[in-house]
Chain A
Amino acid sequence: MIFRAIIALMLLPALPAMAELPVVDIPPGHTKTFLVIHPHHDDHSWVSGQAGLVTKLVDAGWTGYYVRVSNDEKDGPHGYPHDDMVNLFEAREATENLGIKDVISLNWRNDYMDPTPHNEIRAQLILLIRKYRPDLVTSYHPWGHYDRNPDHRKVAKAIGEGVWLAGFANVHPEHRKLGLKPHRVPYKFYSQRFDYGKGYEPNVVVELSESNIRRKARSFWVHRNVRLRGSTGRRMRQLLKDQGLAIPELDGLTDIEAHARMQEWSMYDAARKVGGEHGIEYGEIYAYLGEWHPWPGLRDHIDSNAVDK
């Protein structure tokens, strides 16, 4: 265990401690459909990804779709268009491992999204929201600060507005020609790198089981094109050897398999650290926006007075 902790410390970014947050369960489902919307192939399953929540929803019988906004051409060692294709295939494998039904790729050019009109990305998201009518959307935090990845900022902003505007019939009225009615997304779970400092304020923690983490950890390294390097596995083992240490669990594994195992441990340790800070074993933290978020003056009244039909 101590060796695993050393490896985890080497792989993890420095995660600051925070005050204990309330543990929330997944919200009541009506359509029991959810969308995971991200700029990239691998955003769902890393330290700040939402794969734990995804597996929890899938286990509860929900249907999920992954919307990949960029083409990921910059991510990987092969150059484009080779990386575009590899990353898409791996996104399908990784999201299938989580139980997601389908990947919809919008294919905007990776890291060249600033000239892409905000309203155009938003329009595509509104169309998909009206098509799938999700009860829940999870993504990066539209108001998160200090995210240095331009695609993260751009896509999160489009989502933050799209989930609300999709509810108005006069927004893209042409969708009615396809029989697509307005649909406001009632529940939003936003997350972001929380080691970027002031600006991102999570307000809930979602409790995860070992099974949730196992699937998240696997989906992390299934993105082999960007997550696995035999050279890293070899270097790590050499580093341990130089100090007279060894990790028995890595015995008999190839260098690349060893790296995959270490990557899994990093996911377990990240979730365990978050859980430990909030009184549970494993967790993911979120900025959660509930059903009546758009009307802060009416939330209490509706919650107290709404009754079953």
Chain B
Amino acid sequence: MTPSLHRIAAALLLAGLFLVYGSPAQADDDKVVLVITADASDYVLAAGGTIAKILDDGVTGYLVRVTNDDKDSWELTPEETARRTREESEKAAKILGFKEVESLGYRAGELGGVSPTELRDRILFYVRLYKPNVMFIPNPYAEYVEVLDRFYVGQAAEDARRAASLSNYQPPFAVVGLETHVTPELYYYAQPFDPRRREPESTATFVPQPKIVDIASTFGKKLAAAQALKTINHSMAMRIKDRLETTGRRLPLLDEVDEVSVSKLVEINVRKLAEIAAQDTEHAQAEEFHYAGVEYQIPTKYLQ
């Protein structure tokens, strides 16, 4: 193909993509962001600031929380843990600006026994229902994440995004009015466990690339949302205190584990996470993602 034909092909491809994915001039209040999370805290800690920033611009946000978080507490039954965390996760989502939270209720830590197809189709339903412009999903390729629920949910959500665009997946959904939908922008999020998280996956053609977002303007919301997750935070504080005590140590901040000390611990955590993500950037507070947008659907040679 000659260079001019390349340019024509690129223009046609771009035009086609914008037709499929929606106009770039679409008003923010018509836009929808869909966030998929395995548990109540992961998306807040890894992506809460960026999500709040998008929602602050008038975008409508929906959160799908896959597990019921029934394991993460200190001296509470699974039932009481699930009940409290559901309430607290809805409060956290409200702080960030979400319109609605859908809790799918799978038991935490047990997604290894759930069919990946079932999980994908549960998420696919919401993709076709809400027709998001942007999705945030756990990064299933992030390594050193011991919470495998995040891996299973990330994998299912990635698959759901693709399957939602193809009519031969879940034909009954079309019967009830859930048409196929392509989500043009995708953020993969993860807390900074993976030492290689900033490396590009490959050349920037079809694969997501690292993206760092300044969250200084919404850091306060992110912190407040994280602090709203009181049951999980208390569990974290008690597990750290327990480990230190059984090995003959103490953290002065946790001499008294109460609402004040736990909130402070959460603040230290959230500030440090934002600082880690901002390393080697001009930002003071940030979040790190792997990001796939419209431009990553176009082979580089057509963009030249």
Chain A: residues with CB nearer than 8 A to chain B?
28, 30, 117-119, 122, 143, 157, 160-161, 163-165, 167-171, 173, 184, 186, 201, 203, 287, 289, 291-298, 300-302, 305-309
What 9 A-B pairs come out closest when comparing CB atoms?
Answer: A297-B269, A297-B272, A118-B112, A143-B143, A164-B146, A297-B273, A170-B71, A168-B71, A170-B78
State which residues 156-204 of B face A: CB under 8 Å: 191-193, 195-196
Cross-chain contact of B265 among A173, A184, A298, A300 (Cβ < 8 A):
A298
16 A–B contacts from the bound complex (CB under 8 Å): A118-B112, A118-B113, A122-B112, A161-B112, A170-B71, A173-B78, A289-B144, A294-B146, A296-B193, A296-B273, A297-B269, A298-B240, A302-B244, A306-B250, A306-B251, A307-B250
Cross-chain contact of A160 among B148, B247, B250, B269 (Cβ < 8 A):
B148
Find chain A residues with CB under 8 A from B268 CB: 297-298, 301
Find chain A residues with CB under 8 A from B244 CB: 302, 306
| B70: interface (CB < 8 Å) | yes
Bound CA span A173–B273, Å: 32
State which residues 227-251 of B face A: CB under 8 Å: 236, 239-240, 243-251
Q: Is the CB of B146 within 8 A of A308?
A: no
Bound CA span A300–B279, Å: 15
Given contact pairs A161-B148, A165-B109, A293-B144, A301 touches B250 in the complex (Cβ within 8 A): no
Cross-chain contact of B239 among A118, A161, A184 (Cβ < 8 A):
A184
Cross-chain contact of A168 among B72, B251, B273 (Cβ < 8 A):
B72
Q: Is the CB of B70 within 8 A of A298?
A: no
Bound CA span A186–B249, Å: 14
Given contact pairs A122-B112, A168-B109, A301-B272, A306 touches B249 in the complex (Cβ within 8 A): yes
Find chain A residues with CB under 8 A from B239 CB: 167, 184
Bound CA span A117–B115, Å: 11
Find chain A residues with CB under 8 A from B45 CB: 297
Q: Is the CB of A170 within 8 A of B248?
A: no
Chain B: residues with CB nearer than 8 A to chain A?
45, 70-78, 81, 109-110, 112-113, 143-144, 146-148, 191-193, 195-196, 236, 239-240, 243-253, 265, 268-273, 276
Find chain B residues with CB under 8 A from A305 CB: 251-253
Q: How far is the CB of A173 from chain B (nearest CB, A)?
A: 7
Q: Which residue of B lies closest to A159 (CB)?
A: B146
Bound CA span A309–B244, Å: 9
Find chain B residues with CB under 8 A from A164 CB: 146-147
Given contact pairs A118-B112, A293-B146, A296-B276, A30 touches B246 in the complex (Cβ within 8 A): yes
Q: How far is the CB of B117 from chain A (nearest CB, A)?
A: 16
Q: Which residue of B lies closest to A160 (CB)?
A: B146
Q: Is the CB of B146 within 8 A of A169?
A: no
Find chain B residues with CB under 8 A from A292 CB: 240
Given contact pairs A160-B146, A169-B75, A297 touches B270 in the complex (Cβ within 8 A): yes
Q: How far is the CB of A162 from chain B (nearest CB, A)?
A: 9
Cross-chain contact of B240 among A302, A307, A309 (Cβ < 8 A):
A302
Bound CA span A298–B233, Å: 13
Q: How far is the CB of B166 from chain A (nearest CB, A)?
A: 28
Q: A298-B268, A298-B272, A302-B251 are in contact. List 8 more A-B contacts (CB 8 A).
A: A122-B112, A161-B109, A184-B239, A293-B146, A293-B193, A294-B146, A307-B249, A309-B245
Q: Is the CB of A119 within 8 A of B269?
A: no
Q: Which residue of A lies closest to B147 (CB)?
A: A164
Bound CA span A298–B269, Å: 5
Bound CA span A141–B267, Å: 32
Bound CA span A117–B269, Å: 35
Bound CA span A167–B243, Å: 10
Q: Is the CB of B71 within 8 A of A165?
A: yes
Bound CA span A292–B249, Å: 14
Q: Is the CB of A184 within 8 A of B195?
A: no
Bound CA span A143–B250, Å: 32
Q: How far is the CB of A178 from chain B (nearest CB, A)?
A: 19
Bound CA span A157–B73, Å: 24
Cross-chain contact of B110 among A119, A167, A289, A301 (Cβ < 8 A):
A119
Q: Is the CB of B78 within 8 A of A296?
A: no
Find chain B residues with CB under 8 A from A122 CB: 112
Q: How far is the CB of B169 from chain A (nearest CB, A)?
A: 25
Find chain A residues with CB under 8 A from B248 CB: 308-309
Q: How far is the CB of B247 from chain A (nearest CB, A)?
A: 5
Q: How far is the CB of A196 from chain B (nearest CB, A)?
A: 15
Q: Indicate the member of A161, A163, A170, A293 with the most B CB atoms within 10 Å.
A: A170
